Structure 1
Amino acid sequence: MGDCRPLGFLIGLPFALVAVVLSLVGLIIWVLGSILSCLCPCCICCAGIANFAMDLVKLPVKVIRWFIEKFPC
């Protein structure tokens, strides 16, 4: 079956653009967290920060999929 939900994609696009900006912030946080965890492996909080940053990086895809699923064909 082909999914034809362009309306959900178009409405979700501005929110995805905001999510892209957040993912860039997440990328910077992830790089800093990775460097800190390599320099001081005893800092377990740096791993948590890096995992949170990875969730921010995946956010645009999640937002677009969520909007596309909300609108019928």
Structure 2
Amino acid sequence: MGDCRPLGFLIGLPFAFLALILSVVGAIVWILGTVLSCLCPCCICCAGLANLAVGLVKMPIKVMRWFIEQIPC
């Protein structure tokens, strides 16, 4: 990663903000999925829901890295 891509960070900020909102939603879904899978371990869909929520939580970092990589030096 070069240090010559400050514009990628600035351009990606609005999209990272939207991804941050989605990550908060993902955290809530993750908590609910974890509670549901503890209450009823036979529900395999709750584990899949929790995995999807973890992906949403990681989204802001993925979005920022993608935008930074798109800006040429």
TM-score, length basis structure 1: 0.96
Give the structure 2 partner of residue 51 of structure 1: 51
Alignment of structure 1 residues 29-68 onto 2, 5 Å: 29-68=29-68
Give the structure 2 partner of residue 21 of structure 1: 21
> How many positions carry a matched residue from both structures?
73
CA distance in 2, matches of 1:19, 1:2: 24
Query: How much does 1:4 deviate?
Result: 1.8
| Runs of 4+ residues over 4 Å off in structure 1 | none
Query: How much does 1:2 deviate?
Result: 3.9
Q: Point out where structure 2 has 5 or more consecutive residues left out of the alignment.
A: none
- Two-structure CA RMSD over aligned residues (Å): 1.0
Q: Between the two proteins, what is the percent identity of the paired residues?
A: 74
TM-score, length basis structure 2: 0.96
Q: Point out where structure 1 has 5 or more consecutive residues left out of the alignment.
A: none
**Partner AA of 1:59 in structure 2:** M
